[in-house]
Amino acid sequence: MSAPLRVGVAGLGTVGAGVARLLAENADLIAARAGRAIALVAVSARDRTRDRGVQLAGARWYEDATALAEAPGIDVVVELIGGSEGPARTLVERAIAAGRPVVSANKALLAVHGRALAEAAERAGVALAFEAAVAGGIPVIKALREGLAANRILSVAGILNGTCNYILTRMTEEGGDFAAVLADAQRLGYAEADPSFDIDGIDAAHKLSILAALAFGRPVAFEAVHVEGIRRVSALDIAFAGELGYRIKLLGIARAGEAGVSARVHPCLLPRAAPLARVDGVFNAVVIEGDTVGRVMLEGRGAGAGPTASAVVADLIDLARGRATPVWGGALAEAPSVPMTEHTGCYYLRLMVVDRPGVIADVTAVLRDHGVSLESMLQRGRAPGEAVPVVLVTHETREAAMTAALARIATLGAVLEAPSLLRIEPG
């Protein structure tokens, strides 16, 4: 057997400790599959005294994570610090410049600086591997770059954030209010103390921008992703969606067409029978559509020590065997980004209005003026002079038309709060 692959890990949080534990506990199996041992020889983290549940006595400790880029006796740098700037970016850039392969789970770094890092890695002739950056233990990167390499990818869509999926699942099953379910998710450790990165859709958008680059062979374009989170999804919307035969999920969706690539993250109504509608809790799932293979769905845990460490070590096994795939799968094309205003689809619109004659006629007149036709309407009961919810479902229409209509509807005197608008996906 060849000499061990010597690994330096920067960041010993949940995932870093998971990688160290996996390399130790499955050492024989990993060595057999890699063709040689994979040895953790160096680590870096802020707190030396913290008990991480794994033996690290044999690894050299570096106070400065960026020193791993050029430290002696390291073959591969594993970056698990996180964040698009700071020591994570510096470490990866310096390691690549020093001619060292990098394995990273850092979706923010790749979404913001992926193109520059890929170009640097190509110039240096080193690998930049990031299976763990998207959907944790689900091998979606490998599926796109290898298993589906013969296909022209038409679309990629999925549930890319376990925190949001957990919250929406709980709201659906229990009828709970968003704020209450979020607070419970924080107490249970499924949501961060500051959950904005997750619930505002940023985490999912980082992942989607990476998937879109891989799927469509274009540079990562995080700034072109339309992003909405789940803060405004109410228990009332979830109840109405259920009555209409839908479930609400936060989806990331990227499609390639003649006009270019569209990429969007937002809550959607999905038919209850759609495969993604049945993915619950903290699970992630990705549906890839290829011109030859058709639809392929991958589902599993998208975060946590075990799943993410599994993906990191899978990349290390590839490197140990000398398998290296071009970062984005080959030459990149400058496909234009299609703005959200060009999106076409059906919409769910909920209004809180004063129950009085003529209100619905005023609303439908605005929709008519903007070329929006209605498929159905729900109105529960009567309460003259009181606030009542009204739900409208449209036929297929353009986003720009819906946005303009919504702005006018919001000015109607009988409309008591900002309208709730959700897009409907066919699933």
Residues 253 and 367 in one domain: no
Q: Are 101 and 319 in contact (CB under 8 A)?
A: yes
Q: pTM to 2 decimals?
A: 0.91
What pLDDT shows up at residue 381? Answer: 66
Q: What is the CATH number of the domain that holds 412?
A: 3.30.70.260
The answer as to whether 309 is a domain residue is no
Indicate the range of 55-59, 72-76, 160-164, 319-323 predicted with least confidence: 55-59
Q: Determine the Cα–Cα distance for residues 80 and 156; give it in Å rounded to an integer.
A: 26
Catalytic residues: 207
| Residue pLDDT, tens place only, 218-252 | 877 888 999 999 999 999 999 999 999 999 999 99
Instruction: Report d(CA 254, CA 155) in Å as an integer.
Output: 6
Q: How many domains does the chain have?
A: 3
- Domain termination residue (choose one: 114, 133, 152): 133
- Find the CATH number of the domain harbouring 118: 3.40.50.720
End-of-domain residue from the set 133, 155, 188: 133
Domain co-membership, 404 together with 272? no
109 and 188 housed in the same domain = no
Q: What's the gap between Cα 379 and its chain centre?
A: 35
Classify residue 414: in a domain, yes or no: yes
Measured between alpha carbons, how far is 220 from 360 in angstroms, rounded to an integer? 44
Q: Are 133 and 106 in contact (CB under 8 A)?
A: yes
- Domain identity same for 297 and 148: yes
pLDDT at 276: 97
The 10s digit of each residue's pLDDT in 29-38 is: 999 999 999 9
Choose one of 86, 101, 133: the last residue of a domain. Answer: 133
**72: exposed, middle or buried (C-beta count within 10 Å: 0-12, 13-18, 19+)?**
exposed
- What element of type H or E holds 375? strand 374-379
Does 22 map to a domain? Answer: yes
Whether residue 208 sits in one domain with residue 285: yes
Backbone angles phi, psi at 180, to 5 degrees: -70, -40
Q: Which domain holds residue 368?
A: 341-424
